[in-house]
Amino acid sequence: MIALGENRYGKSRVRVMKVERDGERHTVHEWNVEVWLKGDFASCFEDGDNSRILPTDTMKNTVYYLARGSKAPDAEGFATELVTYLLENNPQVEEAGATIAATPWAHIHAGGTVHGTAFVQEGGGIATATVTYPRERKATVTSGFRGLAILKTAKSGFAGYIKDKLTTLKETNDRLLGTLASGEWEYAESVDYSAARARIMDALLNAFARHDSLSVQQTLYAMGKAALEAEPKIFEIRLSMPNKHCNLVDLTPLGADNPNHIFVPTDEPHGSIEACVRRAG
């Protein structure tokens, strides 16, 4: 016997640019929204019966409609509004969810002036927010980031590892440590999401900068520990830090020395380090 398994459907890559206008000072939100629904949709999959299906085009329009009237200050708040609306207005739906990737824009500071209606895209990676709302249960809010490029040129080494006949990597106590990091954490309760994110990101970056790294793994753990200490409303944080190598160039054949000045950056192949850091108990 053949049966339909777990399923969901929705709309992805719904692009929204929202401008909040307050006199001569505007605020910009750029969101890339994915929204999905779960429920008893077997009749659609198996028989082509669409009577329980909200069109994905309607879901797209719902994003734009709610964005127009939303007062949410952050992606977490808007995602919560979106999934709540879909759940309340579609009794056939058992769970609604949304993920938002937010592109950061900041006011331009130039010529000694803050320009209230001109913006520059910040380089701190993409902020993410996911809200999942099962019917008859509490919504869960997960925040995170991806594509955070960070690099340190001191306080990083790698030595004492296993060596066998295939090992060519040389030990070092002075290397470049670079990564394109991503992370995610779930809140235990509702908070000021923007303020909480700021505390967490500050703790992560401060730990990365200050840590005397013996490995990417050790630095990842130190960063996760710092984030948990900075924000009591999260119980764990999941981090991914692919090791973006910078290989020292041998300038000896060219008659020059190279005391850790000239490198070749490369990201293929790269180490892949991931871990969850959580509170004990």
Residues in the chain: 281
The CA distance from 277 to 259, in Å, is 36
For residue 35, which of 5, 67, 6 has the smallest C-alpha distance? 67
Return the active site residues: 11, 56, 245
Specify whether the CB–CB gap between 155 and 212 falls below 8 A.
Answer: yes
Q: What are the respective helix, strand and coil percentages of the chain, to the nearest 5?
A: 25, 40, 35
Alpha helices in 89-215 (DSSP H): 193-210
Phi, psi values for residue 31, rounded to 5°: -125, 140
The CA distance from 27 to 116, in Å, is 8
For residue 64, which of 76, 51, 81 has the smallest C-alpha distance? 81
One-letter identity of residue 98: A
The CA distance from 91 to 244, in Å, is 48
